């Protein structure tokens, strides 16, 4: 397939605005914490640039410049790397535990979150697997299609659940199912996968008290102990409500000092407080533009692998945005998921920047 044009300007411009806005919001949300914890109001910005943005630029440029077809030959390697990373988090002295979750590994000076890397590598694997010469059998037969899809996707989901990363399970499953559907899988396959996945995730939720506590806090947050399971969602709602229509102004958030996880899992609440309803809608519109443009390009794409990657990455970004905003605004039970391009977290930023680089590379061939 020959390159036909330039990278898509809509995706590029939207991406640049989101990353720039992310640094702006991180500066506002973290300055007092940096001053208190490290005597440096720019600590979190500097850390994000050094360990997230710098790696993200490398990933973005590789994704942009290397023809996406090149990755097809490494599909199996992507799957092996995905599973290996998810297993390594349980290795003593390498895996890092925090807040009861085992989601990180130490790589020299870096702390990597394999669950975020999974969103990139597993979608790349599925896109290559579903675009091979045996594509029709993998989307239409049980033995060569449905069962292998269940085994690989189920294994990834179980490992993520064992790491206490329920939100990542929903994101990865949504991306995987959408890619499988876009590749032409039978509707029965999708329905069966949805039911089986729902039963699996539901069982894990029922046997883990902290997950049940979050659902209980979602159903009746006002009845929860003000310092207990309902604290974070109540503080998020108070922070969002403080913004009213136009917000209190950039850098003027007062509620942030009482807001848990304000740099990552709840940063949208600070956006809503400082920029109000109008600013919040503008941010949602930017994400809608990025995701929508990716899906539009996927519809125009003739190559199965390029189409699957665009669909998968767009779904991953869109679902993660929904989970983040939905959880802090009580549309759904509270989940610990960063807002793409904006929340603090080096691994997530680097992964999403790499995704956009690959999306832009594919857009040259549409």
Residue for token pair 């994101």: 171
- 210 pLDDT exceeds 80? no
96 forms bridges with which residues in the sheet?
A: 104
- 224 pLDDT exceeds 70? no
Contacts of 322 (CB under 8 A, 6+ apart): none
Determine contact, residues 166/200, Cβ cutoff 8 Å.
Answer: no
**Dihedral, 259, 261, 263, 266 alpha carbons, nearest 10:** -70
- 227 pLDDT exceeds 60? no
* CA 26/CA 48 separation, integer angstroms: 9
**3-class secondary-structure state, position 18:** helix
Write down the pLDDT at residue 93.
Answer: 76
Write down the pLDDT at residue 6.
Answer: 86
pLDDT digits (tens, 9 = 90+) for 34-57: 999 999 999 999 999 998 999 999
Output the CA torsion sign for 66, 70, 72, 75: negative
Write down the pLDDT at residue 206.
Answer: 75
* CA 185/CA 197 separation, integer angstroms: 16
**3-class secondary-structure state, position 107:** strand
Share of the chain above pLDDT 90, in %: 57
pLDDT digits (tens, 9 = 90+) for 193-208: 888 888 887 787 777 7
E-only strand ranges, the chain: 95-98, 101-107, 110-112
Whole-number average pLDDT of the chain = 88
340 forms bridges with which residues in the sheet?
A: none
- 221 pLDDT exceeds 70? no
Q: What is the mean pLDDT of residues 130-157?
A: 86
Write down the pLDDT at residue 299.
Answer: 94
- 217 pLDDT exceeds 70? no
Output the CA torsion sign for 351, 353, 359, 362: negative
Write down the pLDDT at residue 248.
Answer: 93
- 231 pLDDT exceeds 90? no
Backbone conformation region of residue 45, classed left if phi is above 0, alpha if psi is from -120 to 50, else beta = alpha
Closest CA to 106 of 95, 118, 92: 95
Lowest mean pLDDT among 34-43, 313-322, 355-364: 34-43
Give 143-147 contacts, CB < 8 A, sequence gap 24+.
Answer: 145/185, 145/189, 146/185, 146/189, 146/192, 146/193
DSSP state of 73: G
pTM over 0.85: yes
pLDDT digits (tens, 9 = 90+) for 61-120: 999 999 999 999 999 999 999 999 999 988 887 877 665 566 778 777 778 888 999 999
Write down the pLDDT at residue 3.
Answer: 62
* CA 188/CA 116 separation, integer angstroms: 29
């Amino acid at each position: 397939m020959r390159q036909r044009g330039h990278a898509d300007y809509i995706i590029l411009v939207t991406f640049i605005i989101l990353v720039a806005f992310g640094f702006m919001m991180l500066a506002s949300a973290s300055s007092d914490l940096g001053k208190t914890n490290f005597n440096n109001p720019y600590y979190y910005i500097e850390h994000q640039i050094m360990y997230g943005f710098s790696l993200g630029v490398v990933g973005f440029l590789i994704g942009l410049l290397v023809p996406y077809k090149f990755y097809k030959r490494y599909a199996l390697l992507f799957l092996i790397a995905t599973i290996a990373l998810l297993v390594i988090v349980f290795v003593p002295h390498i895996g890092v535990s925090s807040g009861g979750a085992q989601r990180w590994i130490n790589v020299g000076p870096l702390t990597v979150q394999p669950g975020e890397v999974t969103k990139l590598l597993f979608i790349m694997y599925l896109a290559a697997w579903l675009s091979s010469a045996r594509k029709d059998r993998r989307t239409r037969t049980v033995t060569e299609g449905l069962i292998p899809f269940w085994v690989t996707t189920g294994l990834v989901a179980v490992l993520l659940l064992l790491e206490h990363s329920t939100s990542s399970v929903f994101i990865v499953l949504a991306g995987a199912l959408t890619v499988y559907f876009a590749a032409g899988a039978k509707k029965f396959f999708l329905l069966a996968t949805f039911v089986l996945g729902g039963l699996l995730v539901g069982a894990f939720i029922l046997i883990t008290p902290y997950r049940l506590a979050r659902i209980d806090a979602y159903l009746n947050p006002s009845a929860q102990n003000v310092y207990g399971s309902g604290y974070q969602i109540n503080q998020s709602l108070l922070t969002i409500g403080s913004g009213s229509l136009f917000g209190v102004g950039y850098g003027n958030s007062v509620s942030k000092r009482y807001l848990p996880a304000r740099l990552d899992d709840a940063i949208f609440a600070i956006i809503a407080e400082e920029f109000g309803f109008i600013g919040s809608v503008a941010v949602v519109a930017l994400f809608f533009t990025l995701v929508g443009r990716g899906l539009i390009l996927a519809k125009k794409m003739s190559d199965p692998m390029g189409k699957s990657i665009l669909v998968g990455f767009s779904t991953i970004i869109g679902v993660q945005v929904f989970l983040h905003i939905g959880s802090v605004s009580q549309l759904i039970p509270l989940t610990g998921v960063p807002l793409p391009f904006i929340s603090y977290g080096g691994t997530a930023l680097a992964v999403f920047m790499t995704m956009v680089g690959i999306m832009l590379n594919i857009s040259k061939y549409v």
